[in-house]
C-alpha cells in the first residue's frame, strides 16, 4: 500500500469518527430535549406500569403467535388477561392533564383487549383481530410518543 493510499484511508477513518461523534452528540441533545409530557409517578407506580408494558408486549407476541395457528381460544385467553380485568385502581399523586390523558389512553387499551377477546370468542377471523391489534398498537405508539414516565424527584 503506497503512502497516498494510507493517507486516504486514515482520512476516511478520521471523517467516520468525526461523523460518529457528531451523531452521538446529536443523540445526547435529543435526550436532553425530550418534549414528551411528563406523567409524574411514585417510584413503585412507575415500576408497576413499566412491568405492565412489558407484559403487554409479551401478550401481543402471544396473540400474534396464536393467530398464526388460528387458535382463537388462546387469543381470547391472552387478550382477556390484558383487558379491563387487569386494571388496578391507583390515585394519581399529581393529577396533571398529562397524567389524566395517560390514564384515559390506558383504559382504552384495556377495553380494546376486551373487544379482541370477545371477537375471538365469537370466532371472528384473524383479519378482524389483526385490524384491532393494529388500532391498539397505534394507541400504544401514540402514548409512547406523547408521554414519559418520571418519578417525583425527577419530574423536571
Question: In the predicted model, what is the mean pLDDT of the chain?
Answer: 82
Provide the pLDDT for residue 91.
Answer: 59
pTM (global) more than 0.75: no
In a domain, 96, yes or no: yes
* CATH number, domain with residue 80: 1.20.120
Helices (H) and strands (E) in the chain, counts: 5, 2
In a domain, 142, yes or no: yes
Provide the pLDDT for residue 35.
Answer: 92
- Cell 412507575 sits at which residue? 46
Q: Supply the range of the domain harboring residue 116.
A: 38-154
Dump pLDDT digits (tens) for 56-111: 999 999 999 999 999 999 999 999 999 987 666 555 566 678 888 888 888 899 99
Q: Beta-carbon neighbour count of residue 82 at 10 Å? A: 24
Number of domains present in the structure of the chain: 1
In a domain, 120, yes or no: yes
Amino acid at each position: 500500500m503506497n503512502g497516498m493510499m494510507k493517507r486516504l484511508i486514515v482520512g476516511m477513518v478520521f471523517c467516520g469518527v468525526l461523523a460518529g461523534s457528531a451523531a452521538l452528540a446529536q443523540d445526547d441533545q435529543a435526550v436532553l430535549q425530550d418534549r414528551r409530557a411528563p406523567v409524574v409517578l411514585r417510584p413503585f407506580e412507575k415500576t408497576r406500569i413499566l412491568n405492565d408494558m412489558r407484559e403487554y408486549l409479551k401478550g401481543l407476541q402471544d396473540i400474534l403467535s396464536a393467530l398464526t395457528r388460528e387458535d382463537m381460544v388462546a387469543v381470547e385467553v391472552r387478550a382477556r388477561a390484558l383487558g379491563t380485568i387487569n386494571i388496578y385502581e391507583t390515585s394519581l399523586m399529581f393529577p396533571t392533564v398529562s397524567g389524566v390523558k395517560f390514564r384515559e389512553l390506558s383504559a382504552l387499551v384495556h377495553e380494546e383487549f376486551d373487544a379482541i377477546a370477545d371477537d375471538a370468542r365469537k370466532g371472528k377471523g384473524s383479519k378482524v383481530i389483526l385490524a384491532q391489534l393494529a388500532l391498539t398498537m397505534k394507541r400504544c405508539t401514540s402514548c409512547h410518543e406523547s408521554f414519559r414516565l418520571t418519578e417525583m424527584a425527577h419530574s423536571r
